Amino acid sequence: MSIDMKDNILDSAEQICIDIGAAHLTLNEVAKRAGVSKGGLLYHFPNKQNLLESMILRAKKRINEKRAIIKETLPNTPSRDLKAHVIARLSEDGKIKRLFPAVIGVLVNEPKLVSSLKEELKKEMNEYIENGLDPVLTKIILFSLDGRMFVDSLGVDTTLYCGKEDLKNKLLDLCELAEKK
């Protein structure tokens, strides 16, 4: 089996979280959705914890890769990293949109695994502060992004009140405002 099979299994696990909820994320259900035997699944992921850890690692890798690409296109300002974060999180990239349900799936099934994610978020916030950004505005921006992803994962149409581009532009304006603390 190949890396493609691992991705297929991880995609299937994410899709279970999206379709029927994290509580239904079992190895049997993942194997069924991925079209592999349970033994085939266990070959790549020896246990459920390993599968969940891989879901978190892949989620972090995807968002970090997207942010790095976007960051290269932005001018070098104190809010450059935060702007890249905003643009990446609000992108229409299906792989990014799947992150929140995957993380929720991990939280529900293995709360201990969230500690590495917490550490990364703390490190990220510290980097924004070290770049001279206002901590309160930075938190408002990050909470907005988290809220947006949560509401999107519920299937609520948030474009009813403001379009995605409008939201992105306002958050980018806040990023610039955060530079002037």
pLDDT band at 1 (very low <50, low <70, confident <90, very high): very low
Q: Is residue 31 part of a domain?
A: no
Q: Is residue 10 part of a domain?
A: no
Count how many residues are written for the chain.
181
What's the pLDDT tens digit per position in 81-98? 999 999 998 887 666 767
Are 16 and 33 spatial neighbours (Cβ–Cβ below 8 Å)?
yes
Q: Return d(Cα 145, Cα 138) in angstroms, integer.
A: 11
Which position has the higher pLDDT, 43 or 108? 43
Which tokens in the block code for residue 69?
Answer: 């690409």
Q: How many H helices and E strands in the chain?
A: 10, 0
Q: Is residue 33 part of a domain?
A: no
Q: Is residue 5 part of a domain?
A: no
Q: Is residue 148 part of a domain?
A: yes
Q: Can you give the residue range of the structural domain that contains 79?
A: 54-178
Mean pLDDT of 131-143: 95
Number of compact structural domains in the chain:
1
pTM for this structure?
0.82
Q: Is residue 161 part of a domain?
A: yes
pLDDT band at 3 (very low <50, low <70, confident <90, very high): low
Q: Return d(Cα 86, Cα 175) in angstroms, integer.
A: 9
Q: Return d(Cα 56, Cα 24) in angstroms, integer.
A: 17
Res. 28: pLDDT tops 80: yes
Q: Return d(Cα 59, Cα 154) in angstroms, integer.
A: 19
Handedness of CA 71, 73, 74, 76 (dihedral sign): positive
Q: Is residue 64 part of a domain?
A: yes
What's the pLDDT tens digit per position in 96-134? 767 777 777 777 777 787 777 788 889 999 999 999 999
What's the pLDDT tens digit per position in 145-177? 888 877 777 777 766 677 788 889 999 999 999
Q: Is residue 100 part of a domain?
A: yes
Q: Return d(Cα 27, Cα 109) in angstroms, integer.
A: 12
Q: Return d(Cα 143, Cα 132) in angstroms, integer.
A: 19
Question: How many CA atoms lie less than 13 Å away from 177 in the CB half-sphere?
Answer: 12
